[in-house]
Structure 1
Amino acid sequence: MTALLEITSLTAGYGAAPVLHEVDLSVGEGQIVAVLGANGAGKTTLLRAISNTLPVTAGSTRFDGIDLKSVKVERMVRHGIAHVPEGRGVVTELTVEENLRLGGLWRKEKPKLDEVYELFPALANRRSHLGHQLSGGERQMLAIGRALVAKPRLLLLDEPSLGLAPKITALIMGLLRDLRDRTGLSVLLVEQNVRSALSIADEGVVLNLGRVAARQKAGTLADDADLRHAYLGF
């Protein structure tokens, strides 16, 4: 499988303290890769390093052959990368529809919001509601929907199930799997809900103290009891 995202010997952190140490990782076209590990393992740091919201100390991050270290944060989406950070970062003072339109600002053509409303009918029913009037699940749908308006090739998704009811988590995971199958979207998914993540992922990468402890096919990783007990807590 052709690698769309290729990370080699990536070292990054905050100030003088590295969090990631020589991480190697790749995401292929139309592939979901789940990044797993305990709190503090470096999962969120990895996504921030890829999207250049955190300086990279050493190593390389390449997307479709482009060196991402030379790409400004605000231009990432133009290259086909959308980052949905932990915390459902919607603009609470704007309506659902206004938030979605933000995702398509850089595109020349008019954003196709109806496609998002088809994916998330709950948002269609609340399109005129302000962000602060939405439930946690609706905010997560909105954050993902806004990213999808930009028509990314790669979606960086940080803890989408955090604080959500199991039913909403299942809906979001099913949507990601469907988008991969129908559109070829690639996803790098950081997730604490290991079972949910591995149920839709093609591969799983386990981080431990900023290093890759294991990388296996998702089904193999789910069946590896010793590794799960050692690094994932179940």
Structure 2
Amino acid sequence: MTAGTLEVAGLTTSYGPVTALDGVDVTAERGRITAVLGANGAGKSTLLRTVSGLVRPDAGHVRLDGVDLTRAPAEDVARAGVAHVPEGRGVITELTVEENLRLGALLGSARKRTDRRLAHVYEMFPPLAERRRHDAHVLSGGERQMLVIGRALLTGPSVLLLDEPSLGLAPRVVAQIFGLLRGLVDDTTTGLGMTVLLVEQNARSALSVADVGIVLNLGRVVARDAAATLAADENLRHAYLGF
């Protein structure tokens, strides 16, 4: 098992009488983007929320490098190295860009390490560096997405959970964001090479950048394969992915 391996086994999560996940198995490895695809209501966001500790599962396990995080509080999951970027690009608009970023370092990183990570985020996202002293309300939608990803990176994660990062963004910006994600998983020289679990409804774009794809339907895994193989499967695409 490589460091940064996230294992989800038999995960079942319910909201009252509704079963959102039904025995889901996922393995995401360091240096790979694993895309979780499917229609609205398939269980994609619930999967990330359960992995990050925001929702308690009914059954199954979540492990990071063999350590069981299944019922750990969300803050302990984050300290273990799992950063969750939920849908919605939630930034605190009254704070500056840099103040928003430094919120990600509140889990106890040393000042020197925080400064190094901040410098790397500014290198990755030049628009944030240019606006570091500006209030976050001036940012465009794409820049806000950069900001929330950058804030997650300030925690120093080994696993990055991303929920619908392309939502509402122009195709050019989506391509830029996904290109940066590819750089994150490939970049081991800075210590930021990581595992990315990407939830997306924009299946075409997600499969173009992912290594592995998993398709959910009504809370169950219906397909799992190399991203290129899933993208080439016309019947699967028409049935579940909408392109």
Please, what TM-score do these two structures have when normalized by structure 1? 0.96
Q: Match of 1:84?
A: 85
In the alignment, structure 1 residue 138 sits paired with structure 2 residue 126: no
1:43 to partner: Cα distance: 0.4
Q: Match of 1:39?
A: 40
In the alignment, structure 1 residue 54 sits paired with structure 2 residue 55: yes
1:195 to partner: Cα distance: 1.5
Q: Match of 2:198?
A: 189
1:182 to partner: Cα distance: 1.1
CA contact (8 A) 2:52 2:78 kept: no
Judge which range, 101-110 or 204-213, deviates more: 101-110
- Paired with 1:127 and 1:23, the residues of 2 have a C-alpha distance of 41
Counterpart among 123, 131, 134 of residue 126 in structure 1:
131
In the alignment, structure 1 residue 116 sits paired with structure 2 residue 127: no
Runs of 5+ in structure 1 lacking a partner? Answer: none
Counterpart among 226, 231, 235 of residue 222 in structure 1:
231
Aligned partner of 2:123: which letter? E
- Paired with 1:76 and 1:58, the residues of 2 have a C-alpha distance of 18
- Paired with 2:12 and 2:59, the residues of 1 have a C-alpha distance of 5
In the alignment, structure 1 residue 93 sits paired with structure 2 residue 98: no
1:18-70 CA-partner distances (Å, limit 9, x unpaired):
11101011101221100000111110011001011111011111111111124
Q: Match of 1:14?
A: 15
- Paired with 2:16 and 2:64, the residues of 1 have a C-alpha distance of 25
Coordinate RMSD, CA, aligned = 1.3
CA contact (8 A) 2:109 2:155 kept: no
- Paired with 1:68 and 1:231, the residues of 2 have a C-alpha distance of 30
- Paired with 2:198 and 2:18, the residues of 1 have a C-alpha distance of 24
- Paired with 1:92 and 1:105, the residues of 2 have a C-alpha distance of 18
Deviating above 2 A after TM superposition, structure 1's stretches of 4 or more consecutive aligned residues are none
Runs of 5+ in structure 2 lacking a partner? Answer: none
- Paired with 2:98 and 2:109, the residues of 1 have a C-alpha distance of 18
CA contact (8 A) 1:14 1:54 kept: no
In the alignment, structure 1 residue 151 sits paired with structure 2 residue 156: yes
Q: Match of 2:214?
A: 205
Q: Match of 2:183?
A: 178
Kindly report which structure 2 residues correspond to 1:68-79, keeping only aligned pairs within 5 A, or say none: 68-79=69-80
1:228 to partner: Cα distance: 0.6
- Paired with 1:202 and 1:106, the residues of 2 have a C-alpha distance of 30
CA contact (8 A) 2:54 2:73 kept: no
Task: Report sequence identity in percent.
Answer: 62
- Paired with 2:77 and 2:12, the residues of 1 have a C-alpha distance of 20
Number of residue-to-residue matches in the alignment: 234
Aligned partner of 2:233: which letter? D
1:95 to partner: Cα distance: 0.9
**What SS does the aligned partner of 1:76 have?**
helix
